[in-house]
Amino acid sequence: MLQQLFFAYFAVTIIVFSILVITRRNPVHSVLWMLLLFFHIASLYLFLNAEFIAAIQIIVYAGAILVLYLFAILFLNIKEEVKVNRFVGAWPTGFTFGIALFIVFILSLRSFIAAPPGNYSIELIKAETHTKALAKVLYTDFLFPFEVASVILLVAIVGTIVLAKRRLKS
């Protein structure tokens, strides 16, 4: 009962905050609602006993990415920005497609089959700490996808440096 209540609270607030993020006229206010949203998502991870993911959610998304967003937004002219309409003219079309997709998701939930449980039960993760369990799986069973993801990120980093550096010695 308590669990359902907790989940209901986080689910409802996450949806409300997401709507607030996209409807605020002032982009700085959007960012602040987004910050609150990230904290609620982190709480959901904690709720799933995924404490490491929760901490990383805050450090990477709230601490790094959102700060960079805020940094970029601070250079906008907020007085002009507030007057501009927040949504493009074709938003009803997008809204219709969004609703349609949502209905498809709801319908497909019926055929949802839970995957067979792996070795890691909640008790095992609690005994071993979530960080250690995650690290073991990432660096043994899923080493290849993990490395592929890091190479893709590295490519993005090199790409930004190439783009930002105007004069390249050809």
Partner 1 sequence: MTIDTLIHIAINIGITIINIAIVFAVAMLHVAYATYFERKVIGHMQVRLGPMRVGPHGLLQPFADGIKLFFKEDVIPANADKPVFYLAPVIFLVAALTSLAVIPYYQGFVIADINIGLLFIFAMSSLGAYGIIISGWASNSKYAFLGGLRSAAQVISYEIPMGLSLVGVMIMAGSLNLTEIVNAQHESPYGMFAIPQIVGFIVFVIAAIAETNRTPFDLPEAESELVAGYFVEYSGFRFALFFLGEYIGMFIMSSMAAICFLGGWTIPKYITDVLPFLSYVPGIVWFLLKVYAFIFFYYWIRATVPRYRYDQLMAIGWKILIPVALANIVVTGLVKILL
Q: How far is the CB of 28 from partner 1 (least distance, A)?
A: 6
Of 4-12, 25-33, 137-145, 151-159, which segment contacts partner 1 by CB under 8 A? Answer: 25-33
**Could you say whether residue 23 binds partner 1 (CB under 8 A)?**
no
**Gap between the Cα atoms of 26 and 87, Å rounded:** 13
**Could you say whether residue 160 binds partner 1 (CB under 8 A)?**
no
The dihedral through the CA atoms of 162, 57, 23, 29 has a sign that is negative
Site track 109-148 with partner 1 (rule: CB under 8 A), x = hit: --------------------xxx-----------------
Among 45, 48, 74, 72, residue whose Cα is nearest residue 59: 45
**Gap between the Cα atoms of 58 and 52, Å rounded:** 10
**Could you say whether residue 29 binds partner 1 (CB under 8 A)?**
yes
User: Token pair for residue 38?
Assistant: 């990230």
For residues 6 and 47, is the Cβ–Cβ distance under 8 A?
Answer: yes
Instruction: State which of positions 51-70 bind partner 1 (CB under 8 A).
Output: 51-52, 54-56, 58-59, 62-64, 67-68, 70
